[in-house]
Structures are given as structure tokens and as C-alpha cells.
Structure 1
Amino acid sequence: MNKQQKEIMWYRNPAERWVEALPIGNGRLGGMVFGGVNKDVVQLNEETIWAGHYQDRNNYQSAQALPEIRRLLFAGETAKASELAQKAMVSNPKRFDSYQPLGDLTIQMTNTVEYSHYCRQLDLGNAVASVQFKDNQTNFKREYFSSAIDQVIAIRYECDKPDGLDLSVTLTRSQESVSQIFSEDTIGLVGQCGDNGVAFSGAVKIICENGTVVLNDRRRDGNEIIAFVEKADRVTFYIAANSNYRGMDHREECIQTVQKASEKGYHKVREDHIKDYRAYYDRFSIELSSGGQNEHDDGEVSTYEWLNQIREGKNDPAFAVLYMNYTRYLMISSSRPGCLPSNLQGIWNDQMWAPWESDFHTNVNLQANYWPVEAYHLSECHTPVFDWLETLVAPGSHTAKVCYDARGWVVHHASDIWGSTAIFFDIVGIWPMGAAWMCRHLYEHYLYNLDELFLREKAYPLIKGVVRFLLDFMVEAPEGTACPGSLVCNPSHSPENYFIAPDGSIGIFTYGATMDTEIIYDIGTICVEIIDILSIHQAGFDHSFKEEIMAALKKLPPVKISNRTGGIQEWAEDFEEYYPDHRHISQLYGVYPGKMITLNNSPELANAAKCTINRKYEHGYNGQGWSLSWIANVWARLLEPERAMEALQDIFQHHILHNLFINAHGNPQVGDAQGVPAAILEMLAQSHEDEIVLLPSLPKAWANGSVTGMKLRGGYTLDMFWENGLLTKATLYLSEVTIPMPIRVGSEGRYQTINNGSTLLVMRN
């Protein structure tokens, strides 16, 4: 498989729509490259450009109303409980504000050209987008990238005809901004997201070779200042953007940033960008092949043509490799140390009010965004999540007290950059498990890297606060309920499904939803394990808190198998689902990402989990790209490779957009795409059950292949090769601190493990 196949996305035409444009990003500064010839547009984003500001939206009636809401739910009076909760618990206003675009950089050829031999591409290996075309005998080339080293987007226009570039340049935004001249070769944009949102600036510095730049403040189209480039051979644009979110003088910061980049020069900026990017990207590689003759074997088919072949039913392992590399590129481009986490759309958004506010959705989406990051060998890209979680502790503690009269801290099903932790949108927002689910990512980071300082100083304080909240929040179910004497969440619901109560009423609000129990078991168990680890060097560390957790875990209700469906029961009571085809598989959290339900320790529940998914399909499963990837991960954990492959193929055929963003309910999203590589990695190696299993769920379509640089829990790094479905060789590199774990191979055959000191070799006999 050559570079053209696995690392180059390319198209024969300019993008006409946003979902055809190609993303570039440096963690916080993003662009969408349309690649037009006579009119070239790069839509721009900076991660902190959000409307709104922090507001205490907590409903101060909540804690007082909570005992009555709980009484009603335990009594089965769902409608009355929902009505009271809607009034007394849901925030006002019900929504927070949206992530917004910076604006559009528009570069127009003032002399229209007729072009041929057009190619627009994104080089995933170097993180550089480019456009090439011809006009008669003149060759034109353009490059675009976003540098983390120099904190600029750099764009380079070249042609081989002397004095061949005549351009007009504008930086514009549809609202709440003013175009300005920053200097003799720099145009800018200054604005604010509404009355209380961030104030921001963007700057474009234009450097010509053998040409001139003229900024014209008199020739305006509305509020636009136009820069004219005349008779240039080459033109370089340096774009910077900043806001006052982090307290800086954003206008001056932009001016200084583009000035420094221009003094450094395009070629050095480009060289440093690629070197920095490849330091992340080159850690990992993957090859997949069926061994057949019908695979994508050359670079003559464009990415869109290739995607259409996939949509028509072609199962091509090479496309999965391209998609893996693309999602790695998106992760590195949207989540760097020191930045905010990648949101629902990464850092790329062209709408003033984005779908779902382009927020941090914590009832699966943000988590799925980071599922593969550790195995991908991109641990640093995980750190923005941890930094962001720390900013939520203070507002989350306030919400815990106001809404539940509880200690610790809480986050509900969605949040933003302002630390919004209240109950938003509707009673569907009364789901106080977001922080608990997110905090398992802290422990995952530890398990892959074994950094005890991180565990002690960052992970444990956050996890302890979440567990403290849950211990205060849970209540004992009374006699007459489905689980008398058990500790349950009340109120509770199973995101985002509805049920039919015995009286025929439709509800979402209840007590003891299975997912809540699984999350509490998961994070409680994690907390106990951390206490045990930290106790090694500090005897008796937090012993009383450990005892309190263990006592509570013993009182959790068991996960049940539904007598009605044979699947995992979704609620404490065996309700009928209002949407049996519902996209969420909330009750299967215990299979993935948790490990409460496995084929080894709970085979009956594992088989019931299979039944749960089968039943959804039988009812015409309402799958979206992200939900199918969750299902693929579950199938991988349950050692059903062909079912996992079926889910992935469904995503590729029905939920991938022109530029390979994922389609979610008719809207493009970026973060949700990361569930796909998570599933692929889970199919190739697993390490969640205190053992390493190689090729546990290898489908027939990937009979031959290799993976190098894959991280595993316990401090291992894996290089692995296989042929005809059988492992040929695996090398596991040991870190300075490694947890000893048994190794076995899921594929048939006899293998031996050789310890070479710093490595473990697994060879076929």
C-alpha cells in the first residue's frame, strides 16, 4: 500500500460546500480549504470564539424539590415527577451559547483564468493541503497548513509565469465584526460574539515576491477592506487569530504573531510545522489487506470516487487505513497540549449557531472523541480534556450543592468553555453522570503511561470529587420498588431513550437506570484501585474513603437480563422501550468502554449484550455514525469480528461525508468519527482485562496486515504482523515501568513468548 493510497486525500474539483472542504488545524486555529481557482475561500476558526459567558444558570428550587421528585419516581408517578422536575430543576435559560467561526479569508484572481489539470489534496503525513491547476501553459500551485510552532495558518500561492499573480484579499465575518488595516501589508478583523461573548481579532499579513501589496480603505464592499496584490510571482499569507478568553491583548498578539512568522520565512515555517506534526504522526502506522485482487491498488481514483465505490458496497481494507490516518490527523489538528478539548466538530465550524452549539457533549460524544487517543500513541492530545475538567470543578461543586445538596462536583450531559455544569435543555438534561464518565479517561491515561505523579496530583483529586458526589447523590430504593434496599440514582434516565410505563404512559424519567449503575460501579472501582496504588507509597492512604466506596458498591443493584427481551435490562424496572430501535446503547456501557461485562467474567450478561444489539437491528436500528462505532467497539469486545466489521462498513457506506467528516442526524461532525478507529484498534489488540490479547477480533477482510507503535495498557508498545489471519510476529516494547501481564493470541495457532529484557517477542511455532 503506497503513500498515495493511505495518506493522501485528493479531489478533482474545488469544494462547493463546507462538507467538501479540507480541514487544517494546529490544535486551536483551524481552517477549511475550499480550493476554488478564481475565488478561493478558507473558512477560519479559533477555538475560544464562543458566544455567551459564564452564568449561574442553576435552578435554586432543585434541592428543595428533589425529595418529592424522588418520592414520585419511586411510586411510579413519572408524569408528575417530570412536570415538577421541569419546573424546579431545569436551568433558565435552558441553553447555553454556541461556538462561532472567526470568518472567511477570500482570495480572488482579479484576472479570471480558465483552468485544467485541477487537483486538490490533503497530505495526511505532512499536514499540508494543496491545490494545483493549469491555465494554458501556466502552472499554479497553492499550499495551506496550520502551524502549532508558529501559531499561524500559512498559505502560499505560486505560479511559473513571471508577474502572474494578481489578487484581491478580504477577511470578513457575517456579523459583529469590523474590518481594519493593521499595517501597510496586514489587514485585520476585530469583533465580539454578542454583548457578553469573547472579543477577538484576526490578522492576515501578505508577503509578495516581485509584486506589490496595496491596502485600499476607500474601495469597500460594505465593511470590507480589500488588499490588492499586483504582478507577483509568489505570495505568502500568514493568518493569526486570538481572543480575550485567556486575557490577552488579542489584536496586538495577532500582529506580533504574523510579523514573527513572516520574519522567519515561509520555507522555515513549513519545515518546522512538518517536523512538529510528524513527531506525533510517525509514532503509529497500520496496514490492512484481504490478500485479494479487488482492493484499491493505485492512486488514479480520487477520494470521492473511492468513497462512492464504498457506498456501493465495496469492502476495501485500504479505505479503512486511509480513514485511520485521517482520524489521527484530525486528533493532532484539533487537540494539542495547552488547547481546549476537541468539541463536537473538532475546531471546525462555519455556523454562528452550530448544531448542538458545537459543545462538549458528555453523554457519549466527547468520550468517543477520545476513545482511541491512548492506543494511537497520542497521549499528549488527551491532556486538553484533563485541563478542561479541572476548570469544571468549581462550577460543578456549586451545581452539586445547589441542585442536589451534595458534596463533590458534577457535570450533566453537555457543557461549554465557560464551565456550564447546570441542567440544560429539558429533563433529558437531568443526567448527572457526565463528569463520572469523563473521569474514566484520567485512569485510562494512567494505565497506558503509568505516570504515578499524574495519578496522584491530577487524576485522583478529580475522580475523588466525582465519587464523593455520587455517594451523596445515591439513595436507597424503598420497599415496593424493583430493587428495594439497593443504592440507586434518583432521578435517573437512560440517554436518550424513552420507555412505556405499566399504565401506558411514556416517560424518560425514572430511578436506577442501568447505565447509571454501570458508570458508578466503574468509577467507584477505579477510585478504589487508585487508592490501592497510591497506598503502596503511603500506607493507609484514604482508607476510610475506600471503605465507604466499597460499602456502596456492594449495595448497587445487579445488572439484569430482561425477561421480556433477553437483552440487558435498560432500567431498574423491565419497561418496554418506546424506541426499541434507539441509537444509544446506554445499557452496554458495562461492555464498552467499561469492563464490568465480559465473556470471561460474566458470559450470560455478555450474551445478553449481543441480544440487546440484535434486537435493535430487528426493529430497524436508528443508527448514526457515532452510535454504530460504539456498537462496533462492543462487538469487538464480545469477540464478534464480522459483526464489528458490519457496523464499520455501515458507517463507511451511509454516514461518511464528501470530506470524510461523519454525518450525525444530517449534520457534519468531527469528534464522533474517532469511534471508528477505536473499534479498529479494539479488533486488533485488547488489554482491558489485565491481560494482553492479540488479534482478538480480526475479521476475514483484514487477513493480512500490520500495526506498529500501538500503545497498550500496562505500559506496552506493540508492533505486530499477521498473514492469512494468523499472527506471524509481535514485539511488545516495555517502558521503564511496566505492569506484568499475560499475553495470548486470539487467532488459531500455537505461539511462544520470548523475553528479551526490554521487549517481549511473540512468535508462531
Structure 2
Amino acid sequence: MKPKHCIFILCLLISGFSFAQKGGKYKLWYDKPAKQWVEALPIGNGRLAAMVFGDPLKEKLQLNESTFWSGGPSRNDNPDGPKVLDSIRYYLFNGNYRRAQVLADKGLTAKTLHGSAFQNIGDLILDFKNNGDFKNYYRELDIEKAITTTTFSANGNNFKREVFASIPDNVIVIKLSSDKKNALSFSAQFNSELKKNSKAIDTNTLQMDGLSSTLDGVQGQVKFSAIAKILNKDGKTEVSENSIAVSNASEVTILISIATNFTDYKTLSTDEVLKSKKYISEAEPKSFSTLLKNHLAAYQKYFKRVYFDLGTSNAAANPTDIRIKNFATSYDLELISLYYQFGRYLLISSSQPGGQPANLQGIWNNSNKPAWDSKYTININTEMNYWPAEKTGLPEMHEPLIQMVKDLSESGKETAKTMYNSRGWVAHHNSDIWRIPGVVDFANAGMWPVGGAWLSQHLWDKYLYSGDLNYLRSVYPVLKSAAQFYEDFLIEEPTHHWLVVSPSMSPENIPQGHQGSALAAGNTMDNQLIFDLFTKTRKAAQLLHMDDDKIPVWNTIISKLPPMQIGRYGQLQEWMGDWDDPKDNHRHVSHLYGLFPSNQINPFTTPELTDAARTVLIHRGDVSTGWSMGWKVNLWAKLLDGNHANKL
């Protein structure tokens, strides 16, 4: 090594400043700032989250906190259910589907409350007034370290920004640095679209307190308190209205804390200001290096359990957006392994033990009226979030969902009794942080009383990966109660005398020529879910040596469930009737639940049903919404067609 190179490296070590190494096995990287929200880089610790834009002139961190939702503790049961249930079943069995739907909309669908919306806390804006033109721009998300880094040059200075969300220290940490002294000057302020009070408490502390929005007549009751603590080694700070100006600093660390008054799904009694200040006061004495060390130890404990390598690729020299654009023709196998690990990164970042489960957008949301309220859509999306949990070595990340199922098993008991005069617990196609179990939106989407049956599969699947009988014993009452609901709710259909779920629908599809109604009885997905629920609950009882008297009851029910049927086009029927349309390209492929994530259909034991499932996928086509294509990737893989899975 030549002497001048040694001197250069020594200078880097002394200054503590260095640019991030461009690209790498675990890095998403880009050569320009994010222009829109979906281009920003996500960080999170399961409770706090930010989208980091990386703008050299005006940095923005869009902020979320997992318990910040609209409304407050609430229920959405329709007490008219017992008045209309028998009539709805009569009309379904006699082919008057439209009349059944009208009655369901009036007597079963929630009267007003259709769930709360996950909310956007707001933004922390860092306005760098003197950066001028910038060059050598680079930003990355290192998913091995869960850190975003932005570097660029401006006015003869090299600047670096590092951001991470710490699991152990419960704060978001920002470090701003320059390779030259006194080169950092900026103003910092909070902003939010919600009702809020934003102010500078002192020359180093910003605080924004606010209130969630009102939705479906439920007054916003969730309060938040966000605090930003600015810690500069040199330079000076001064207050300007509701912002803080930093001038001529060489290095600045900013700590962001957010807390709400959420205690649990029934209670809002926490002091959000004291809680937020507590996180700041505990993190403030720690150096950046200590905070970073704590963060890496906690995060990498999870991330480094799995090593997945499909080889290297020359395409990795390109920014990630270009790699994605070129993927179909580049044979970029390294991108596949990055994609796999990115999924693990997102689950670690949005779902931590003791917190809330990942919602429809994980934990990242820039709207107070997000698509589908960013709720828990439990007819596919919530479950899909957690398919990787046990399979990719992240069982702790599964715990928030398991707790939500336990919560719903309590709130859903009242719904089962109020709406259906049934024992046990029930949930439909949607829920929120308040654990509402009733029918959301309208009958053609929400009249699906098997959400609890699907969620219950996760309780059993988690046991399969651990073999922990103490855990199984803790969730067995939830499984048994879910089965108990269907013991009461299943009804004999008149043609074959099978036991069926009625009313229900096959999410969220309307059969052709079905009078514009999705409502039906004995839908294939329902039958598959009920079969799994009873067989798994039965096995759990046998393992725990409990409820021997229930085994014959459950055996009888299992024997009377409708079988899976192959229709006139060689397809696996979606409904009890042969109503499928080969031109139907609906995004849901609900009746293929039996293929994946269940194992009732597989190429080795049920070859005819496997061929019928393949026919369904061919009819539906490849192109669909993102989550639907994600499901289809798994389905084609289960069909042992790796090429088709790779194509998707």
C-alpha cells in the first residue's frame, strides 16, 4: 500500500466520517432522492416507523406509531342478526341470492361503524438552507443493519445522514455529519395534517401533541406526543416560532420519540406525554455509538438467523430500481435473495413482541384516510403478512398476531351471541386495533364469518414449528372456542345434507349470473377452513389429553363437510354449485387455500385436485394486484412449477 493511501485512511479514522460502500448483498440503493412516498426507505422497530426521503435540501421523515388509530374503543355488532338469519338461509337455499343479500345488509352488516383507520402522525422536516447544488448522491437501506444512509457532496463538503429505529431504546435516531467542521446548518420542525399543537420547548427540543381523527361517527380519542431532541456537538441552536434552527455544527444527533394514550384495545389511559419524554430521557445520555450498538445487537439477533445466497450478479452494480426494471431479462438471482431478506426485514421492523401486528401496510402509512383504512383484512392480507414468520426463523414476530387472535376470541364471543345466538367466538373479514369482529363495509365483501377460523390456523401452525405443549395449552381454549361457534352455526343444506357455513361468500367474488350477490352457502374456502379448524383442534385436544368427549362430535362434523369438487371446466369449484367462469380473472383465489397455505391439496396425495387447482390458476391469469400475485407465486411453487413462480 502506498504511503499516501495510508494517510488518507488514517484521516478517515480520525474524523469518523466515511461514505457508505456503494451497493452490496443486503442493500437497496438509489442514485437520486425519493420524489414520492413509495420511493422513500422504510425503517421501524415494531412500534415506531419512518419513511426516509433522502432529500439533500429538505429531508423528510414521515412518521408512524403502531397504536395511533382513529376513533377509540368500540364495537360493530348488529343486534338484528337473529331476526334475519333464518330468512337469509331460506333464500340462499332457494336460489334468491339478491333477497338474501338485501336482508344481510340490513340485519347483519354493521349499522354505522365499519372500523377505524391507521393514522399518520406527521413529518419531521429538516430544511438545509445552504446546501446549494449537490453531486455524488447516494442513498441506501442496509437491511442487514436496518439503517438508511444518505451521502452527497455540496459546497465543497461531504455530507452523511444515518437513520435507524431502535428496538431496545424505543427511539428513532438520526445522525447528521460532515467531513468539514461547522458545515451543518438547518431548521427542524414537526408538521401534521391532524389537529395538533407543535412548539419548541427549549433550544434543543421540539414537541408536537395531537389527536386522531373521527371516523364512522366514532370521535377521535387517541392522543399522541412526538418529541425531537437535537443534540449538537458544536455550533448553536435557537428557537424560531415552532422550529429550531441549528447553525455551524459539525455533527448533530436527533432523537425522535412518539407515544400515545393507548393502553390496550379496551382502554386509553396512558399518559402519552410522560411516556414519550421517558423514552427521550433514557436515550439522551447514550452516545450515538452506544445507541447504534444496542440497535444492531437487537435487530441482528433476528436477521442473522437465516443466510440465503443464490449467487452474485453483475446487475448488483445498478441502483435497485433499475435492477427491478431489468429483472425479467437480467437473470438477477442476487435480487431474489435480497427480495427474500427484504420480506424478513419488513416483518422484523413492523411486528415486535408485545406490540401490534403488522396491518395492511405493515406499519408505514402517510395518510389519515389510507386505502381500506390500512386495517386488518383477515380474509387474506393479515395472514399473508405472517406466512414468513415461522418459515424464515422469526417466531417472535408472530407473537403480536397470536395476541390479536386471543383478543378477538374475547371480543368475538359477544358478536357470536348477539348476532347468531351461538357459543364460541366469530370474526368476519376485517378488524382494527379495537378488535371489532362484526360485518364491515357491506354484505358482498364483509358477510364472511370465517375470519376467526383462518386466524386460528396460525395458533396451530406456531405449535408445529416449536412442539411446545405449554404454548399449545395456552392457545387451546381459543381453538376450542372457535370450533364451538361452528358447532352451533353450521347448518344442513337440503340437497346433499352436508353441513355448511351459511350465509357466507367466497372473498370477495360474485359468481356470474348470481343476481349481483356474492352470498352463498357451502363455499369451498369455508369448507377447507372448517375442515382444518376441526382437525387441528381435535389433534390439539389429543396431544393435551383434553376433551375426549368432544372428539366424536368433531369427527361427525368433519365427516359431513362438503368435499372439494371438480367442475365442468376441469376446475376446482369455488362454490358448492358449478358456477365458475373460465374468463373470471378475479384477484382472490380463495378456494385455493386448500393448496396453499393449507395442505389439503398437493401433487403427491391428491393429483386430480392438484390438476383442478392448476386449471383455476390458468383461468385467473398471472396479472393481478400485488398481494394476489404474491399468493400465486406460492401456489405455483406448491404445484412444483418453479419457472412459473419465478416468472411471477
TM range (shorter): over 0.9
Q: Is the 8 A contact 1:5 1:322 kept in 2?
A: no
Residues 467-513 of structure 1: CA deviation (Å, up to 9, x unaligned)? 111111100112xx3xx211001112111111134xx6333111100
1:729-740 → structure 2 map (5 Å cutoff): none
Instruction: Tell me the residue number matched to 2:12.
Output: none
1:584-599 → structure 2 map (5 Å cutoff): 584-599=588-603
Instruction: Tell me the residue number matched to 1:81.
Output: 100
Instruction: Tell me the residue number matched to 1:272.
Output: 294
Instruction: Tell me the residue number matched to 1:258.
Output: 280
1:244-255 → structure 2 map (5 Å cutoff): 244-246=261-263, 247-255=269-277
Q: Is the 8 A contact 1:43 1:350 kept in 2?
A: yes
Q: Find the aligned partners of 2:193 and 2:57 in 1 and give their Cα distance.
A: 21
1:293-692 → structure 2 map (5 Å cutoff): 296-297=313-314, 299-310=316-327, 313-427=329-443, 428-457=445-474, 459-478=475-494, 481=495, 484-501=496-513, 505-535=515-545, 541-562=546-567, 564-577=568-581, 580-617=584-621, 623-647=624-648
Deviation at 1:548, TM superposition (A): 1.1
Q: Find the aligned partners of 1:319 and 1:213 in 2 and give their Cα distance.
A: 44
Q: Choose from 146, 171, 174 the match for 1:127.
A: 146
Partner amino acid, structure 2, of 1:256: K
Q: Choose from 240, 262, 273 the match for 2:257.
A: 240
Deviation at 1:62, TM superposition (A): 0.9
Q: Is the 8 A contact 1:6 1:325 kept in 2?
A: no
Q: Find the aligned partners of 1:603 and 1:283 in 2 and give their Cα distance.
A: 36
Q: Find the aligned partners of 1:387 and 1:250 in 2 and give their Cα distance.
A: 23
Q: Is the 8 A contact 2:310 2:333 kept in 1?
A: yes
Identity %: 35
Instruction: Tell me the residue number matched to 1:24.
Output: 43
Deviation at 1:94, TM superposition (A): 5.0
* Unaligned runs of at least 5 residues, structure 1: 218-224, 290-294, 536-540, 648-765
Q: 1:299 to 1:72 in 2, by over 3 A?
A: closer
Q: Find the aligned partners of 1:79 and 1:299 in 2 and give their Cα distance.
A: 55
Q: Find the aligned partners of 1:368 and 1:488 in 2 and give their Cα distance.
A: 25
Residues 69-104 of structure 1: CA deviation (Å, up to 9, x unaligned)? 001100111111111111111102152221011110
Partner amino acid, structure 2, of 1:345: Q
Deviation at 1:67, TM superposition (A): 0.4
Tell me the secondary structure at the aligned position of residue 189 of structure 1: strand
Q: 1:470 to 1:578 in 2, by over 3 A?
A: farther
Q: Find the aligned partners of 1:584 and 1:31 in 2 and give their Cα distance.
A: 31
Q: Find the aligned partners of 1:183 and 1:544 in 2 and give their Cα distance.
A: 68
Tell me the secondary structure at the aligned position of residue 239 of structure 1: strand
Tell me the secondary structure at the aligned position of residue 519 of structure 2: coil
Partner amino acid, structure 1, of 2:363: I
Partner amino acid, structure 1, of 2:470: L
Q: Find the aligned partners of 2:246 and 2:565 in 1 and give their Cα distance.
A: 70
Partner amino acid, structure 2, of 1:409: W
Residues 312-369 of structure 1: CA deviation (Å, up to 9, x unaligned)? 5433211111111111111111011011001111110000111110111100001111
Q: 1:467 to 1:284 in 2, by over 3 A?
A: same
Q: Find the aligned partners of 2:647 and 2:142 in 1 and give their Cα distance.
A: 29
Q: Find the aligned partners of 2:583 and 2:616 in 1 and give their Cα distance.
A: 13
Tell me the secondary structure at the aligned position of residue 288 of structure 1: coil
- Root-mean-square deviation (CA, aligned residues, Å) is 1.6
Q: Is the 8 A contact 1:500 1:507 kept in 2?
A: no
Instruction: Tell me the residue number matched to 2:6.
Output: none
Partner amino acid, structure 2, of 1:322: L
Q: Is the 8 A contact 1:498 1:577 kept in 2?
A: no
Give the TM-score, by structure 1 length: 0.79
Residues 96-128 of structure 1: CA deviation (Å, up to 9, x unaligned)? 221011110000113242211010111111111
Q: Find the aligned partners of 2:100 and 2:315 in 1 and give their Cα distance.
A: 61
Q: Find the aligned partners of 2:221 and 2:462 in 1 and give their Cα distance.
A: 33
Q: Find the aligned partners of 1:579 and 1:254 in 2 and give their Cα distance.
A: 54
Q: Find the aligned partners of 2:580 and 2:144 in 1 and give their Cα distance.
A: 49
Instruction: Tell me the residue number matched to 1:200.
Output: 224
Q: Find the aligned partners of 1:641 and 1:439 in 2 and give their Cα distance.
A: 30
Q: Is the 8 A contact 2:596 2:635 kept in 1?
A: yes
1:188-227 → structure 2 map (5 Å cutoff): 188-194=207-213, 195-217=219-241, 225-227=242-244
Tell me the secondary structure at the aligned position of residue 91 of structure 1: coil
Deviation at 1:307, TM superposition (A): 1.6
Q: Find the aligned partners of 2:396 and 2:284 in 1 and give their Cα distance.
A: 29
Tell me the secondary structure at the aligned position of residue 187 of structure 1: strand
Give the TM-score, by structure 2 length: 0.93
Q: Find the aligned partners of 1:550 and 1:100 in 2 and give their Cα distance.
A: 45
Q: Find the aligned partners of 2:315 and 2:504 in 1 and give their Cα distance.
A: 53
Q: Find the aligned partners of 1:323 and 1:302 in 2 and give their Cα distance.
A: 14
Whose strand proportion is higher, 1 or 2? 1
Residues 670-708 of structure 1: CA deviation (Å, up to 9, x unaligned)? xxxxxxxxxxxxxxxxxxxxxxxxxxxxxxxxxxxxxxx
Deviation at 1:626, TM superposition (A): 1.4
Partner amino acid, structure 1, of 2:111: N
Q: Find the aligned partners of 2:554 and 2:459 in 1 and give their Cα distance.
A: 19
Tell me the secondary structure at the aligned position of residue 181 of structure 1: strand
Instruction: Tell me the residue number matched to 2:18.
Output: none
Q: Is the 8 A contact 1:5 1:297 kept in 2?
A: no
Partner amino acid, structure 2, of 1:22: L
Partner amino acid, structure 1, of 2:531: Y
Deviation at 1:578, TM superposition (A): 9.2
Partner amino acid, structure 2, of 1:198: V
Deviation at 1:565, TM superposition (A): 1.4
Q: Find the aligned partners of 2:375 and 2:605 in 1 and give their Cα distance.
A: 37
Instruction: Tell me the residue number matched to 2:168.
Output: 149
1:102 lines up with 2:114 in the alignment: no
Q: Find the aligned partners of 1:576 and 1:507 in 2 and give their Cα distance.
A: 14
Deviation at 1:183, TM superposition (A): 4.0
Q: Is the 8 A contact 2:200 2:244 kept in 1?
A: no
Q: Find the aligned partners of 1:380 and 1:56 in 2 and give their Cα distance.
A: 29
Tell me the secondary structure at the aligned position of residue 441 of structure 1: helix
Q: 1:216 to 1:162 in 2, by over 3 A?
A: same
Q: Find the aligned partners of 2:597 and 2:580 in 1 and give their Cα distance.
A: 25
Q: 1:360 to 1:543 in 2, by over 3 A?
A: same
Q: Find the aligned partners of 1:369 and 1:193 in 2 and give their Cα distance.
A: 25
Whose helix proportion is higher, 1 or 2? 2
Deviation at 1:373, TM superposition (A): 1.1
Q: Find the aligned partners of 1:411 and 1:73 in 2 and give their Cα distance.
A: 21
Deviation at 1:622, TM superposition (A): 5.0
1:118 lines up with 2:164 in the alignment: no
Q: Find the aligned partners of 1:61 and 1:242 in 2 and give their Cα distance.
A: 39
Q: 1:393 to 1:336 in 2, by over 3 A?
A: same
Q: Find the aligned partners of 1:329 and 1:93 in 2 and give their Cα distance.
A: 37
Tell me the secondary structure at the aligned position of residue 567 of structure 1: coil
Partner amino acid, structure 2, of 1:251: V
Deviation at 1:406, TM superposition (A): 0.8
Q: Find the aligned partners of 2:270 and 2:288 in 1 and give their Cα distance.
A: 26
Tell me the secondary structure at the aligned position of residue 555 of structure 2: helix
How many residue pairs get matched? 617
